[in-house]
Amino acid sequence: MSRIVSVAVPVPALDVLTYRWPEGAPAPVVGARVDVPLGPRRLTGIVVATDITPDPAMKLREVLAVRDETAFVPPALVTLATWVADYYVAGPGDVLTSALPPRVLTGDVTTFKRRRVARLTALGADAAARVAVDPACLSPADAGAPRLGARQREALTLLAGVPAGLPASVLAGRGVSSATLTRLVQCGFVAIHHEAVSRDPFAAHASVLDDSGPPVLTGEQRAALDVLEPLADAAAYRVALLKGVTGSGKTEIYLALADRMRRQGRRALLLVPEIALTPALAGRVRARFGERVAIQHSGLSDGERHDQWHRVRAGQVDVVVGTRSAVFAPFASVGLIVVDEEHDTSYKQDEMPRYHGRDVAIVRGRQQDALVVLGSATPSLESFHNAQRGRYTLVSLERRVADRPMADVHVVNMREEWAAAGADVTLSRVLIEGIEQRLAAGEQALVLLNRRGISSAVLCRQCGNTIECPHCSVSMTVHGTGRRARARCHYCDFAQAVPEACPQCAAPYLEHLGVGTERVEQDLAARFPAARIGRVDRDTVSTRGSLTAILARFGRRELDVLVGTQMIAKGHDFPFVTLVGVVSADVGLGLPDFRAAERTFQLITQVVGRAGRGERRGEACVQTFFPTHYAVRCGCAQDYATFVTKELEFRTALRYPPVTAMINVVVRGTTLEQALDAAGALAREVARGIAGRPIALLGPAPAPLMKLRGEHRAQFFVKGGDRGLMNAAVRGALAAHPALARRTSIDVDPVSML
């Protein structure tokens, strides 16, 4: 009787499929790759379960080919991917695709880079020896063999000193051409072989490698390790929340714990929220632990991602540094998982599968008996709530390294600035004076505005119309000036020339509203023409390596002022930055999202913490129209406790996370009516699944972003305390309306309501 297996294939929203195992094939193994039929197609999938008992009525198709006799994907990762697919209502093939190097399951696999290596044969060694004894001897013992030219003799001499051989590229650099090597091979003097070469992503980060070695720990750092080290040594699942003010030395604690795990023969995984933070941390880890370190993030080339993944899988790596997808690093034995800046919403993937890297890290720690350390100066309310309830161990660092003081903060009421100087003011007088002082003193400044472009909207003063994207219900952002000005949608990337007259009423009275980083950079350049100014946003770091290059220039003090979005707000340590300016600190408060105040508080706290991290005291200038809002006040005061108390009161009163769980269901349609009708059908099905239980269903209603990439959107929310029942109700609704599955996005534990 044939054995039956379950296979996950890379098809969106598709559950595992069941197949017969071919007779005579090696025994099926969880994690092996197989080729299977799906309709008329042939796909490569991963075996996720073996010895399945099928429905007798089912007619099963057979696995077409077995690619691996052993597990290509470690079984522990298959288990983790299966949990992710179940919890986040996603297809297991989607999750496994996220966990693997690019194109592994599509047939176009990136192979190892190979190089040609030349080495002497016995005959070549004899010829080299004869040349060394008598340079005039130009032929080997065999009188019929060809005579050697000068370049050929030089090649033999070079290879004679390296028995293992030399890469052809090295020989070429010494003047030995490919033609010379070919001739020596024909003579029998040299043999050529090919060997795999691991592409090294650290080569691009050489300028940020930190070789200063481990510093002397502060008393608080030592006390924190006294709590965390026994948890790590226990080889049992625990979660610790490391709440440390900016500049308190959390990274050194991560490295000390990783070193402890490494010496015990266990592995460490260090996660950061964004690629921008990877070079600095990876440099410190590589300097501390040598070559047994890997990087994993989407900014690497496909070949680098392939090589790094296989190094980890082969057991050649002790520590992995990466972004959220690195949570699936194919380690066999994980002892420590660190989630740095755990509050950051970048850990949440905004497309299927919509998993949260922090929460998946916690589940992986539980599955592999590892210590999970969540680190932040501004922990998410979810993590802090869990620490308050005793689910996580809370460890605090309240003082900066070397007892450096926190930055002095000046709050500028921009309503007063506008009253004094007009509504065109971008930079306040306090911020301008602060930058002047830093330039005169040879110090540096950071200026944050979490919005890119020249202006965020174009408004007609006559009819009130704004220039909107034809595919999305959002105003387009203006980039560039003069004849180069373009209006661009930041959601679908549609762009057009900025019109000279209103498309609706033809009036020439178009006003540019709001400012972005490009405008701030221009204003600074006009105000300080001698200053060296750089900008970090998605427009300036779109090419590979550009972000690292800009940050490295700023770190070398080749730039005086760095303007940027939230990419510059966290994780960076620039000791000569003594001033931080925050333009439009309250830009996110008006969003229709219950997390708006939390994100505003975190952003202000984090960026203010970039100032004064060296020997010189720091200052911050926070520009806002709402100086009395508790998120702004607490952020400027670095007062986490007061903010959490206030915010939890709001969340509890309105039953929002972390006091309850939430699922966001978004349905797309060609018209808004179609989207609302489809969402209504799903919502009614969900209501049947939660009937009689204390679970609320809100909506459906048009989504805040009502139109996105040409599709209309409607949404509803499921809120309650029984995550399992809520999850099952949503799955049941999709099963009852399978035609809607491809038009529906399920976001479990959403971090954005848009």
pLDDT tens-digit map of 164-186: 888 888 888 888 888 888 888 88
pLDDT at 484 over 50: yes
**Both structure tokens of 46:** 């991963």
Q: Provide the pLDDT for residue 57.
A: 79
Residue 319 tokens read as: 């520590």
Instruction: Quote the CA–CA distance of 519 and 623 in Å, as a whole number.
Output: 16
Instruction: pLDDT band for 237, please (50, 70, 90 cuts).
Output: very high
Local confidence band at 140 (pLDDT 50, 70, 90 cut-offs): very low
pLDDT at 371 over 90: yes
Report the pLDDT averaged over residues 397-423. 87
Q: What is the pLDDT of residue 175?
A: 83
Q: Is the distance from CB of 4 to CB of 19 less than 8 angstroms? A: yes
Q: What is the pLDDT of residue 702?
A: 95
Q: What is the mean pLDDT of residues 595-620?
A: 90
Asked whether residue 205 carries a pLDDT value surpassing 60, the answer given is no
Q: Is the pLDDT of residue 227 over 50?
A: yes
**Residue-averaged pLDDT of the chain:** 88
Query: Hey, which of 280-284, 492-496, 540-544 has the most confident mean pLDDT?
Result: 492-496
Q: What is the mean pLDDT of residues 128-146?
A: 57
Q: Are strands 486-488 and 495-497 parallel, antiparallel or unpaired?
A: antiparallel
Q: What is the mean pLDDT of residues 258-266?
A: 94
Average pLDDT over residues 610-631: 90
pLDDT for 753 equals: 85
pLDDT band at 277 (very low <50, low <70, confident <90, very high): confident
Span 388-396, mean pLDDT? 96
- Of 461 and 19, more confident: 19
**pLDDT score for 206:** 47
Dist CA 184 CA 187 (whole Å): 5
Q: Report the 3 state secondary structure along 389-417.
A: CCCCEEEEECCCHHHCCCCEEEEEEHHHH
Environment class of residue 405 by beta-carbon count within 10 Å: exposed (0-12), middle (13-18) or buried (19+)? exposed
Q: Which of 57-71, 231-245, 381-395 has the lowest mean pLDDT?
A: 57-71
Contact of 254 with 305, CB cutoff 8 Å: no
* Residue type for position 383: S
Per-residue pLDDT at 390 exceeds 90: yes
pLDDT tens string 98-131: 899 887 776 555 566 667 778 888 777 777 777 6
Residue 601 dihedral angles phi and psi, to the nearest 5°: -60, -45
**Other beta carbons within 10 Å of 66:** 18
Query: What does the pLDDT average to over 235-243?
Result: 97
- pLDDT at position 310 over 70: yes
Percent of the chain with pLDDT over 90: 55
Per-residue pLDDT of 655-694, as tens digits, reads 999 999 999 999 999 999 999 999 999 999 999 999 989 9
Domains located in the chain, CATH noted: 4-99 (3.40.1440.60), 113-197 (no CATH), 201-403 (3.40.50.300), 408-453+516-651 (3.40.50.300), 455-514 (no CATH), 661-748 (3.30.70.1320)
pLDDT score for 452: 85
pLDDT at 110: 54
Per the model's pLDDT, the better-predicted residue between 497 and 193 turns out to be: 497
Buried-state track 549-570, b at ≥16 Cβ within 10 A, e below 16: ebbbebbeeebbbbbbbbbbbb
Strongest mean pLDDT among 216-225, 295-304, 475-484: 216-225
Q: Please give the residue that has the higher pLDDT: either 201 or 291.
A: 291
**Position 562 confidence tier, pLDDT thresholds 50, 70, 90:** very high
- Whether 207 shows a pLDDT value over 70: the answer reads no
Cβ 128 vs Cβ 156: under 8 Å: yes
Which of 161-165, 284-288, 381-385 is least confident? 161-165
Q: Is pLDDT above 80 for 53?
A: yes
